[in-house]
Amino acid sequence: MTSLTLMKEPVAPAPSPRPLLRRYDEVRARTRSLVAPLSPEDCALQSMPDASPAKWHVGHTTWFFETFVVAPNVPGYRAFDPAFRVLFNSYYHAVGERHPRPDRGMLSRPSLDVVLAYRTHVDDAMRECCERARDDPALASLIELGLAHEEQHQELILTDVLHLFSRNPLYPAYDATRKPAQHDASELAWIRYRAGLATIGHEGHGFAFDNETPRHRVWIEPFTLASRPVSNAEFLAFVEDGGYRRAELWLSLGFDAASAQGWSAPLYWIREGDRWREFTLQGLVDLDPHVPVTHISFFEADAYARWAGARLPTEFEWEAVASRSDTRGRDEPIREGWRARTPSTISHGEVWEWTSSSYAPYPGFHPAEGAIGEYNGKFMCNQYVLRGGSQITPPEHARITYRNFFPPDARWQWSGVRLARDAR
């Protein structure tokens, strides 16, 4: 999501009320746990216009439930603070005025304590809504959308905090107690896909966003896909070969962006003498050569692919191979621990993977009416699709059919690259 543009209208059947309430409590508790290691000062700062303060994320996800679920469905409900309707509105023009996104870091008030009290106030009213959802499938589906929206903001909280801490010369760790996972070298294999029609999109079982539908067929020419994402060591070879200075490898807009912004390595790489280090949620650590490279833009991913004599896959190629490799079913989440075991399967889930596909509607797509329709359709311009999921993605969002998307110069997400080649 974005960058809140990951929210989409659900196509899921209504869940039963008791599991829905339990899921509501679990999702809301996880957000609180993500904010718990942060100080009030941490929660108030905004490091760039594309990021938001953690306090704003907490307030906005609560605003969503209050605005779209509680207010229309709980008679006599009294808003916690009418001013929050503007402060925590992101981009919903149909709802009304919005506080400017680049100025969210100026909101020293309300305090974090007040925002958390707002959260409790809305949670109390949501219990009645979850009960009403017993006999109201549309309401239950809307609550599920709100929960999916909050899970997307859970990922954004961590991406935005990492960027914020990277601007601090002390390089503070979000979680110093957790050691980075160790990775072993993994041999890269190439998976061949023969030409044919592939069926793309969500099958209709379980939750999905509307941009994953309608399900449709796509013709795919023969190609090969790498069994894993590109590693830090492999990308370092591109850096040391002058890849960032070689205009012939780059799209014109990409080389302009790299030159103007001074890119010379992935976003959080730091060179200290003859060694490279990387800033992570655990603080500054030595660069692990076997970890998938992260925090690169579409432009960098595309340039690397050219340097490597390959290309980026289309999102349809990616899904066709992933769905063939997944033995659990297309609609089930990709959970941690799924790794390549044979030359015909792919490993993913550690990093969002750029594709060459522009973010566009599937054939037959129609946005929902009203404010909910602003979730998706209006963002289908000047963005590229990423597939897979990252180490901080909630498992429910790492579906094979999930379409993440960002502008081509976005770097602060856990975004990486997987190579593809035309079949010979």
Q: What DSSP string runs through 33-66?
A: HHHTTS-HHHHH--SSTT---HHHHHHHHHHHHI
Q: CA of 65: how far to CAs of 58, 109, 176, 229, in Å?
A: 12, 21, 33, 37
Tell whether 1 is covered by a domain: no
Over 90: is that where the pLDDT of 181 sits?
A: no
Residues 183 and 155 in one domain: no
Instruction: Output the DSSP codes for 2-36.
Output: TTTTT---B-PPPPPHHHHHHHHHHHHHHHHHHHT
Same domain (yes/no): 141, 198:
no
pLDDT at res. 180: 67
Same domain, 328 and 275: yes
Is residue 122 included in any domain, yes or no? Answer: yes
Within-domain flag for 68: yes
279 and 338 part of one domain:
yes
Q: Is 124 helix (H, G, I), strand (E, B) or coil?
A: helix
Indicate if the pLDDT at residue 205 is higher than 70.
yes
Write the DSSP assignment of 197-233 as a string of letters: EEEES--SSS--BGGG-S-EEEEE--EEEESSPPBHH
User: Which range of residues forms the domain containing residue 27?
Assistant: 17-166
Residue 313 per-residue DSSP state? P
Query: Tokens at residue 420, please?
Result: 């593809």
Instruction: Decide if 218 is inside a domain.
Output: yes
Looking at the structure, do residues 35 and 161 belong to the same domain, yes or no?
yes
Signed CA dihedral, 372, 376, 378, 379: sign only: positive
Same domain, 319 and 406: yes
Band (356; pLDDT cuts 50, 70, 90): very high
- CA torsion sign, 92 to 95 to 97 to 103? negative
Spell out the residues 6+ positions from residue 219 whose beta carbon is closer than 8 angstroms to its own: 195, 196, 197, 198
Residue with tokens 């054939």, as numbered in its chain:
363
In this prediction, residue 81 carries a pLDDT of 97
Specify whether the CB–CB gap between 315 and 307 falls below 8 A: no
Residues 149 and 207 in one domain: no
**Is residue 184 predicted with pLDDT exceeding 90?**
no
Query: Which H/E stretch holds residue 191?
Result: strand 190-193
The tokens for 27 are 């999702």
Domain end (from 166, 185, 209) = 166
Distance CA 41, CA 30 (A): 20
CA dist., res. 137 & res. 207, Å (int): 13
Beta bridge partners of 422: 223
Looking at every residue in the chain, the average pLDDT score rounds to: 89
For residues 361 and 399, membership in a common domain is answered with: yes
pLDDT band at 94 (very low <50, low <70, confident <90, very high): confident
117-121, 175-179, 341-345: least confident range:
341-345
Any domain includes 8? no
Residue 5 predicted with pLDDT over 70:
no
Q: How confident is the model at residue 261 (pLDDT cuts 50, 70, 90)?
A: very high
- Asked if 105 and 46 count as a contact pair (C-beta separation under 8 A), the reply is yes
HEC profile of 265-293 = CCCCEEEECCEEEEEECCEEEECCCCCEC
Q: Is residue 6 in some structural domain?
A: no
Contacts of 69 (CB under 8 A, 6+ apart): 126, 129, 139, 142, 143, 146
Could you tell me the pLDDT band of residue 375, with boundaries at 50, 70 and 90? low
**Structural domain total, the chain:** 2
pTM attached to this predicted model? 0.90
**Which band of pLDDT confidence, cut at 50, 70 and 90, is reported for residue 395?**
confident
Query: Which of 166, 200, 230 is the last residue before a domain boundary?
Result: 166
Same domain, 185 and 323: yes
Domain of residue 361, CATH code: 3.90.1580.10
pLDDT of residue 150: 97
Closest by Cα among 121, 112, 120, 137 to 78: 121
Give the contacts of 37 (CB within 8 A, at least 6 positions apart). Answer: 174, 175
Q: Considering the domain boundaries, does residue 10 fall inside one? A: no
- 252 and 322 assigned to the same domain: yes
In a domain, 3, yes or no: no
**Do 180 and 326 fall into the same domain?**
yes
- Which of 148, 166, 184 is where one domain is finished? 166
Instruction: Please name the amino acid found at residue 146.
Output: G
Terminal CA-CA length for the chain: 36
Percent of the chain with pLDDT over 70: 87
Stretch 112-126: mean pLDDT, rounded? 98
Q: Same domain, yes or no, for 272 and 329?
A: yes
- Each residue of 145-183: b (16+ CB within 10 Å) or e? bbbbbbbbbbbbbbbbbbbbbbeeeeeebbeeeeeeeee
Condensed to tens digits (0 to 9), the pLDDT of residues 271-282 reads: 999 999 999 999
